[in-house]
Amino acid sequence: MVGHVEHWGLGARGHESLQVQLYMPVWQLPDKFWSLFANGAGYVVRTSNAPLGILNSIRQAVGSADNSAAIYGVSPMRDIVANSISTQRLTMLLLGVFAALALTLSAVGIYGVISYLTGQRTHEIGVRMALGASTKDVLRMVLAAACAPALIGVGFGIAAAIGLTRLIAQLIYGVGATDPITFAAVAALLTGVALLACYIPARRAMRVDPIIALRYE
């Protein structure tokens, strides 16, 4: 007795109700079952060398046993496995491209908003620096004001993703719909992008000349 085997590919979902297999030596099959092999049978060969490199040796061995047998449809196992999830791979590639585009637009949007807000506070920053605030204080002030909404947005996004990933669970293989490592990596990436987008305007605010800033208005 063995567990279920993905006969129809790693990405197949149409045969999940089939949970049992029966294995027996091919030469012990009853005669009435041989009609099932009218279109040929599949065989798996394990080799330590290049898979296609021993194809001629296999053909010779088969020909010596039965000169009427023909070998066709030879493919390395890695190609068979890759083809079985080609649809999922293409779908996830497209989702990845759109996700990267959305991430880029988000970073540009955060940068633009923080740059505008920092520019509006130029006079305030000048007053603070004139009263003794250091550049680190200015950097901390800008990052704190900018990153708080970004972190809240990441939190809401992760919560929404937990619910939405169940809708695309059929497109995921090898990763659970609520895989904690994936969610942690995505949260770290989004937070890092938000910090980078906020850091550039913050660095610009650090170089504000208090005299120029006080003359701003």
Q: What is the pLDDT of residues 155-205, one digit of tens each?
A: 888 888 777 776 666 666 555 666 778 778 888 888 888 778 777 777 777
**What is the C-alpha separation between 207 and 115, in angstroms, rounded?**
14
Q: What is the pLDDT of residues 68-115, one digit of tens each?
A: 777 888 888 888 888 877 877 888 888 889 988 988 888 788 778 877
User: Is residue 103 within 8 Å of residue 153, measured between CB atoms?
Assistant: no
- Under a CB-based contact definition with an 8 Å cutoff, are residues 198 and 142 in contact? yes
Q: Which residue has the tokens 């063995």?
A: 2
pLDDT reading at 51 higher than 80: no
CA distances from 109 to 76, 84, 106, 121, 185 (A): 47, 39, 5, 19, 22
Q: How far apart are CA 213 and CA 126, in angstroms?
A: 5
Residue 53 has pLDDT above 80, yes or no: no
Residue 101: the pLDDT is: 92
Residue 110 CB neighbours (<10 A): 23
Q: What per-residue string of b and e applies to 117-154 under the rule 16 or more CB within 10 Å gives b? A: ebeebbeebbebbeeebeeeebbebbbeebbeebeeeb
- Is 131 a residue whose pLDDT tops 80? no
pLDDT in tens, 78-90: 888 888 778 778 8
